[in-house]
Structure formats: structure tokens, C-alpha cells
Amino acid sequence: MSRITSHALAAASTAAVLALSSLWLGTGAAYAHAHLTRSEPRDGSTVIPAPQEVDLWFTEGLEPAFSGVEVRDAQGSRVDQGDPQISGATMHVGLKALPPGTYEVNWHALSIDTHKTDGTFSFQVGQ
């Protein structure tokens, strides 16, 4: 009888662990946000020649109507070419011709699960 009880207890324990694991994994997706995973140019980088666009990659798909990016020079003037192109979890914006200097990228994203994120990073164009 002790053998049956230990097998039943092991099976019940395994079932409980699996049930809790699936609950934990299921709620993880519900709390996901579109976090920036990488950019080109990279944060803090110095690039030569000047880039023609800024590319951003996120962990989640983006809502194009509510996501965007601006690139500004050291004087605060916009140097991007306007509305970004957004497809899935990527965002791209064209740039005007950039002289050497420091540039700041300000982005905001609304993921397809309606969570908002935003951020700022900078890069330099070298001579």
C-alpha cells in the first residue's frame, strides 16, 4: 500500500508542478512589453560614414499608429525624414544627410498587447 501511495503522491506532485508552470508561462505573455532589443546605429556608438536610417528591433509586434521615433541633432532640430516604417517588431526611419556630431534617438512603442514603452539613446557621426 505504501508503494501505491508514493506513486500517487509523485503523480499528484508532478501534475501540480505542471499546472503551476503553465499558469506562470501563460501569464508571462500577458505582461509582455515591446522592449528595444537592438538598434542600428547602436547606443553610444560612433559611426563613419553617417547612417541613412535608424533601425530598431523590439521583442513584440508594434501598433504602427501608436509607435514612432524621432532623431534630433545637438541643437534639438529633427534630422529624421518623418514617419517611420513599421512592420511587425521592427521600426525604421530615414535620415537627412548628417554632418559629424551627436544625435539623440527618442522612440515610443505600443505593443500589440497594448503596453507602452519608450526610450532614448544617442550615437555619434565621426569625421
Q: pLDDT tens across 74-122, in order? A: 999 999 999 999 999 999 999 999 999 999 999 999 999 889 999 999 9
Same domain, 49 and 22: no
pTM of the model: 0.75
**What total of structural domains would you count in the chain?**
2
Half-sphere exposure of 63 (CA within 13 A, CB side): 13
Banded model confidence at residue 9, pLDDT cuts 50, 70, 90? very low
CA 37/CA 90 separation, integer angstroms? 10
Helix then strand count (H, E) for the chain reads: 1, 8
60 and 8 share a domain?
A: no
Q: What is the mean pLDDT of residues 52-66?
A: 97
If 0-12 CB within 10 Å is exposed, 13-18 middle and 19+ buried, where does residue 113 land? middle
Shared domain for 44 and 87, answered yes or no, is yes
Report how far residue 47's alpha carbon sits from residue 92's, in angstroms, rounded to the nearest whole number.
17
**Span 37-57, average pLDDT:** 98
11: domain range? 1-31
Are residues 120 and 58 located together in one domain of the fold? yes
Regarding whether 40 and 27 lie in a shared domain, the answer is no
Query: Which residue matches cell numbers 506562470?
Result: 24
* Mean pLDDT for all residues in the chain: 84
pLDDT the model gives residue 105: 98
Instruction: Indicate whether 6 and 41 sit together in one domain.
Output: no
